[in-house]
Amino acid sequence: MAFRILCGVMAVLYLFSVVVQYNDPDPFQWIALYLSGALLSALAAKGQPRFPWIVPTLIGVVALIWGLSLLPGVWGRVGFGELFQEFEMESALVEQARETTALLFTAGWMGVLAWARMRSRAPAS
């Protein structure tokens, strides 16, 4: 039950992330990523998710590769606290660090969903 609640919270957070993309210079790739996270999280929150484990795995791999490609540009150049000081984009470097963090977080969450789906005894439809 706790996992289903966590999945519901994640679905809401991903939907919030979709909403705040309206002023992003490259919104479509982020909206696609966040909508995917919201959809899979919402399905998992409903109980027996009806997606194969490969779906979150592939999304997670894409997010991981994308995040790792951005990581060298921000590693050691932006403090963790700077990510949350302002909601507006004050610095391109802070924005890139936020994006990197979101991608790596998404990769991790997709890994959790894939693992949970593999452990589920219900067959994927």
Residue 39 has a pLDDT of 95
Distance CA 84, CA 91 (A): 12
Which phi-psi region, left, alpha or beta, contains residue 76 (left: φ > 0; alpha: ψ -120 to 50)?
left
Could you identify the residue written with the tokens 């966590």? 6
Kindly report the average pLDDT of the chain as a whole number.
85
- Residues 23-32: tens digit of each pLDDT: 778 889 999 9
pTM value surpassing 0.95 = no
- Residues 31-67: tens digit of each pLDDT: 999 999 999 999 999 986 678 999 999 999 999 999 9
Distance CA 112, CA 106 (A): 10
